[in-house]
Structure 1
Amino acid sequence: MPATEILQNVTSKFGTLEDDVDVSRFLEGVSKYYGFEFYSVAIIPQNEPRRFPQHNLATNWPSELITQFEKKNLIDSGPLISMIRSTSVPFVYNVSNKPAGGDLLSGSESLNELLQRYSLGYSALFPVCDNLGNRACVSFSGEREDLTTAEFLELFLISTYFQDRMSSINRHLAEGKESPLSQRELECLRWSAEGKTSSEISQIMSLSEHTINYYLVSAARKLDAVNRIQAVAQSIREGWI
């Protein structure tokens, strides 16, 4: 199929994207078409340290990999983040090609091992901006051969247009939409977004750990989220926390 036809087919679907479910299906479709298994759309962290849920706008990364990224502090100071921060040019990160350079090389060994373990050995990353100038990164990962130049350019255009559409979706969803969560559930999610464990949140809120877990599970259930990470990400997008 010619590149122009591919792009027309993909971009014609942007207008039908209205919520998180549509976004996930769209990204899964693009990933599969280009031979990738995983996708991620994330805010590019600047000076303020954040946890993964606060960066993440949409992803199907394995939850275990996300946990490892947080434990190894690869969210705010890892080699991939350093590369994304330092450029607005799309690039490929391939664990088969060890990156050259002092700091990057010294910090990339554990990252490469992690990515290989979870089958994200080859990633195409596209730093993008929405129509308000907010910086983000759209990435596609998996185990495949190098992208052709045509494929790379197609994904770059798709990522650019997609991020602009996603920004519009998030603003629309946030307008006048009230949170279905209780104040206690929201407070638990706020602390969880700061990286606090259930045990730590229980001490902060002077409640039992069992009660904290109940609030977190309840919040996830109300939001149809599979876990607390997804519940936190959704609440941040909606502007509730």
Structure 2
Amino acid sequence: MSGLLQSGYLSVLEAKTKDELLAHVVRFARDLGFQTVTASTVIDHFIGDSEFIWIDNAPAGYREIGEDRNTAKRDPVMQHCKHKSVPIIWSQNTYLDAGQAEVWEEQARFGYRHGICLALHMPEGRHFLFGVDRDQPLPKDVAEITRMVAALQLYAVHAQEASVRLLQPAVVSQEGPSLTPRELETLRWTMEGKTAWEVANVLGISERTAVLHANNAMHKLGCVNKHQAVLKALRLGLIR
């Protein structure tokens, strides 16, 4: 493994802005032999409702395809990463086998023909997707492919650490009361009009615990009822 790749693992942690993070991941991808790279932080807010924050060096015209939710639901690479942590080495055959040849053909026009992609799944409904792509086939040598995958996995761990600071919503670093994930989830579902009993069923907890989470959130936010707490949490950017 080249010294340049090894130094990249630590240097990405020094990125201070979103643009610097992108510059670091692009440099790493090119050192590894890939033209394009995509890093995405995914935050699950509700069942079926996730927030994506992307950085990439996609060519003009591709972003609309890459960020289309309907296409992502059909994309076998995205679906693999959604459910598994094992990296996927993909090519046209990956899409043919999934019956999604047209998805591959659409992205191939922009140079997305072969690649490696993986996902890191963290607690509290947070995920980090990292993929590198190119228009030429990957090496057939197993040792070389193994080296690429290992380098990508190690780098993704470091890039994810930087993404916590730079890709996640500004609310993460915003001053204000610190609510637990359960307290935030309780407020989110309350915002959707759920009762304490319904929130308890959704979260798999007792009704008493759901009420406790709501009361704790109210206390931390300095509010007199849960609905006022929801409004204040929205204003502070704690929930969306």
Q: TM-score range by the shorter chain?
A: 0.5 to 0.7
Q: Which runs of 5+ in 2 are unaligned?
A: 176-236
> Out of 38, 58, 80, which is 1:40 matched to?
38
Pairing of 1:179-194 with structure 2 (within 5 A):
none
Please provide the CA RMSD for this pair: 3.2
The aligned residue for residue 212 of structure 1 is none
**Cα displacement (A) at 1:55:** 1.8
Matched with 2:65 is: 68
Q: 1:100 to 1:17 in 2, by over 3 A?
A: same
**Structure-to-structure mapping, 1:1-241, within 5 angstroms:** 2-3=1-2, 5-44=3-42, 47-49=47-49, 54-69=51-66, 73-95=70-92, 97-99=93-95, 101=97, 104-105=98-99, 108-129=100-121, 134-146=126-138, 148=144, 149-170=146-167, 174=171, 175-176=173-174
Change (3 A) 1:87 1:62: same
Rounded to whole Å, the distance in 2 between the matches of 1:240 and 1:17 is 27
2:88 touches 2:117 (CA, 8 Å); kept in 1? yes
Question: What percent identity do the matched residue pairs reach?
Answer: 12
- CA deviation after TM superposition for structure 1 residue 75, in Å: 2.5
Distance verdict in 2 for CA 1:172–1:99, change over 3 Å: closer
Q: Which moved more, 1:134-143 or 1:57-66?
A: 57-66
Distance in 2 (CA, whole Å) between partners of 1:74 and 1:114 is 10
Per the normalisation by structure 2, the TM-score is 0.59
Alpha-carbon contact 2:41-2:163 (below 8 Å) kept: no
SS at match of 2:138: coil
Secondary structure, in 3 states, of the residue corresponding to 1:145?
coil
For 1:72 and 1:132, locate their aligned partners in 2 and report how far apart those are by CA, in whole Å: 22
- Maintained 8 Å contact 1:40/1:58: yes
Whose strand proportion is higher, 1 or 2? 2
Q: Which segments of 5 or more consecutive residues in structure 1 lack a partner in the other structure?
A: 178-237
**Larger-gyration structure (1/2):** 2
The runs of at least 4 consecutive aligned structure 1 residues that moved more than 6 Å come to 238-241
Distance 1:173 1:72, change over 3 A: closer
Give 1:63 shift: 4.6
**Is the alpha carbon distance of 1:171 and 1:125 closer, same or farther for their aligned partners in structure 2, counting shifts above 3 Å?**
closer
**Cα distance between partner residues in 2 of 1:82 and 1:45:** 16
Counterpart of 1:123, as a letter, is G
- For residue 218 of structure 2, what is the aligned residue in structure 1? none
What SS class does the counterpart of residue 61 from structure 2 fall into?
Answer: helix
User: Matches of 1:171 and 1:72 in 2, distance apart?
Assistant: 19
Q: Which amino acid letter does the alignment assign opposite residue 61 of structure 1?
A: A
Q: With the length of structure 1 as denominator, give the TM-score of the two structures.
A: 0.59
Sort the Cα spacing of 1:56 and 1:93 in 2 relative to 1 into closer, same or farther, 3 A: farther
Deviations 1:151-182 (A, max 9, x none): 221111101221122113346954248xxxxx
Q: 1:239 to 1:76 in 2, by over 3 A?
A: farther
